[in-house]
Structure formats: structure tokens, C-alpha cells
Amino acid sequence: MSLLQKLDAARAFQDQLGQLGVNAIGATIDVAGSATEGKIDGKRVILAGTNNYLGLTFDPACIEAAAQAVRTHGTGTTGSRLANGTYAGHAALERELSAFLGVRSAIAFTTGYVANVGAISTLAGPGDIIMLDADSHASIYEGAKLSGAEIYRFRHNDPADLDKRLRRLGDRCARTLVIVESLYSMLGDVAPLDQFCDVVKRHGAFLLLDDAHSFGIMGENGRGLAEVLGVEDEIDFVTGTFSKSLGSVGGFFASRKHDVAPLRSQIRAYMFTASSTPSVIASTRAALKRVSQGEALRAQLWKNCARVHEGLSSLGFTLGAAPSPVIASLMDSPEQAATAWQALLDAGIYVNLVVPPGAPKNLSLLRCSLSAAHTDDQVERIIEGYATVAQQLFDQPRAAATAYA
């Protein structure tokens, strides 16, 4: 068997998706132009599948900060944080993030993926245990694998199942890192984080929260689901990303309970990759400022979420969860999802098409993600787009899509 068989298998997989009408490498956005509208295949569309929850990619202050930074500091740092890649901006961002989150220390990474891989693989090692939610993001699985720790899964969002599995570990819980997320990116469902905190504490294990999706958008101050539930002091470690609510790219690893700063000289994914470009750091800092005074943005976002959720459910779509900035419509099959996705795009609405194995339970989804920057008019046009799709879909009786919900 040749090494290159993997290429053949990958091509076969892409062809298979192609036959379903799915472009395996995604749509190409020719011009973004704004946080909520862009051009795909020469056609103007509303962007409703971007994770740009607060619309800050086109915030004037963020753009200005990035533009100034690129003129002052150039286009890249061309080096690792431990060598020539720490500029004053990188250090300032870490201080500002620490103050915002109220943590002892925070380390910034080049992406959120890298933050997870680096933090998890360094916190846990051979002889330790990682217990992760079954629906965890790929970067969490990747970090776990790389750590060399024993890996166990518990049922998604199920504190009782976690409790049972920790009990089986007995006194090895003292060497166990439990990993959960806040708002799950595919179905938009939210973790029972307070209950997870209780279970983890009872067994004497440690908890890492990947707050990629609720950071900036939940909580009175935007500190995420843990702020909402009042459990920030109980979480051992937090990771997150700058690529959703902050509208840039990068990630972080932080803690209220422990000083993680010394791990800078241990985390290989921090030491052996180039640091973020100064303009990215500058726009992230500006975005963090907007987030920390972002009550109005958050209110607008959640208003949009409620409206679209109500609109889509009354059209007959089966939705993945209660209203949140991720509104997933469950489709009966990958073929149906692909057809519906194309019909939505033809109607001028871009959402994310998710087919197996991209989502939990082998579901096929139309994943809509909303932004505070969507205007009332755009929100209505998104719902109208779904209405044209609903007409095509619901001529026939529904089948499997109801199974999950």
C-alpha cells in the first residue's frame, strides 16, 4: 500500500461530496466589503455564516488601529514570541485581556486552534487523564492526542455522565483535566457549565473551558457563559479565540486560579511558531475595548437571534437549540442540505453547509450565524431566503430531521 493512497481517498471523498452538489473546499468570497454583505460568484449576498458575532471586522476603530500598526510595525513579526516576536502590543493585549477576564495571567497565541493544542498538550502529559465532551472541537481532540495522556469521552453536555465516568477513575481524578465548551459551534447549544463545575469540584479534578463562542457575546460584561452562570472562579483554565466576537485572528489561554505564565517556555505551539502580525494584535486590542463596552452590540445581537430563531421555526425548520447566534437547521440528508444551501445562496443568503462528518451525530445542517451588525432589514431578508427554501423542502412530509431535536 502506497503512502499516496491517502490522496486518492481524499479525492474520492471530495468527488463524493461533489456529486451531492457540495463544494468540499467551501465557497470563495470574492469581496467581503462589510461585516454582513459580500460578493460570491459576482453576486451580492448577505453573509449569515461568519462567526462575526459583533460585526467588528469592519469596526472603524479596529480598522484604523490595524492600519496604523501595519505602517508603524510592518506586515509581520517574522519570529516566535520567545525570540523577536513579542512587541509591546502583544504584551499589552495580554495585560488588557487579563484585566478584562479578571485572570492572573493570559497567554496570546497565533490562532485559537493553536492555543488549544498548545495549552492542552502541555497541561496534561503521560500518566494524566483528559476527559472531554464527546462533541469537542477538533483542536481539543488534537491537543489531547498530542499530550500523551489517557483520553476518555463523556456524553455531550451531560453532567451525570461525566460524574459517572469520573467516579470510575477514583483517586486518579487528581490528575484529570476535564474539557468542555460554552456555546457549541455547530448546533448552538449551551453547556450546563455550573453543573459541570460542581461535578468536577466534587471529584477533585480540573476544568478547562474553551470559550471560543460565548466570549464577548454572553454576560453583562461580555465575559461569556461563565459570567452568566457566576462560575468564573471555579474554572481552572480558559482558552478562547480572537476569530469570532473579536473579528480578527488569534487565541488565548488564561486562568483565574493558577498562574499559567511560566508555561510560555513549555508550550511548543507558542515557542515554535511566528507570533501574530502587529496589525492583528492592534485590531484585537481595539475590538476588546469595544467588547468591554459592548452592551448595545450584545443586545442587538440577541435581538437578531430571537427574531431569526422565531422566523425559521415558524417556517417549519427543525432547529438545533434555543435562540443563540448559531442557528442550525437540521436537514434530512446531505443531499437535501446541499440543495437547500444552494437555493439559499441563489436567494442571496450565505450560510454554512455542514455535512457528515462535520457535525455531531452525523447531522446535515444549514448553519446560520448571526451578527450584531445585521440590520433589521437584513434579518428579514435572511428569513425570506429561508422561506423560499422552505417552500421547496416542505412540499414533502418531513422525515429524519426531527430525530435529534
Ligand X SMILES: Cc1ncc(COP(=O)(O)O)c(C=O)c1O
- The three cell numbers locating residue 37: 454583505
Q: What is the dihedral of CA 232, 233, 236, 238, to 10 degrees?
A: 30
| Residue closer to other proteins (CB basis): 146 or 274 | 146
Contact 64, 56 (CB under 8 A): no
Q: Does 251 bind ligand X (CB under 6 A)?
A: yes
- The three cell numbers locating residue 157: 453536555
Question: 160: how many CB neighbours lie within 10 A of its CB?
Answer: 11
| Residue closer to ligand X (CB basis): 48 or 379 | 48
Contact 105, 98 (CB under 8 A): yes
Among 73, 104, 153, 381, binds other proteins (CB under 8 A): 153
Residue 185's binding partner out of ligand X, other proteins, none, with CB under 5 to 8 Å set by partner kind = ligand X
Q: Mind telling me the catalytic residues? A: 185, 213, 244
Q: Does 249 bind other proteins (CB under 8 A)?
A: no
Q: Does 58 bind other proteins (CB under 8 A)?
A: no
Contact 150, 130 (CB under 8 A): yes
Among 27, 29, 151, 306, binds other proteins (CB under 8 A): 151
To other proteins, the closest distance from the beta carbon of 168 in angstroms equals: 4
Binders of other proteins among residues 100 to 129 (CB under 8 A) are 129
Report the length, in residues, of the chain.
405
DSSP alpha helices (H): ranges in 46-137? Answer: 60-73, 88-101, 112-123
Residues that contact ligand X, how many (by CB under 6 A) = 14
Contact 371, 53 (CB under 8 A): yes
Among 100, 113, 237, 270, binds ligand X (CB under 6 A): 113
Q: Does 155 bind other proteins (CB under 8 A)?
A: yes
| Residue closer to ligand X (CB basis): 181 or 332 | 181
Concatenated DSSP letters for 238-295?
EEEESSSTT-S--EEEEESSS--GGGGGT-HHHHTSBPPPHHHHHHHHHHHHHHHT-H
| Residue closer to other proteins (CB basis): 159 or 251 | 159
Gyration radius (Cα) of the chain, Å: 21
Binders of ligand X among residues 173 to 192 (CB under 6 A) are 181, 185
Choices 4-12, 48-56, 163-171, 214-222; region in contact with other proteins by CB under 8 A? 163-171
Binding site for other proteins (CB under 8 A): 129, 134, 150-153, 155, 164-165, 168-169, 357, 362
Residues found near ligand X in the complex (CB under 6 A) = 111-113, 116, 137, 139, 181, 185, 210, 212-213, 241, 243, 251
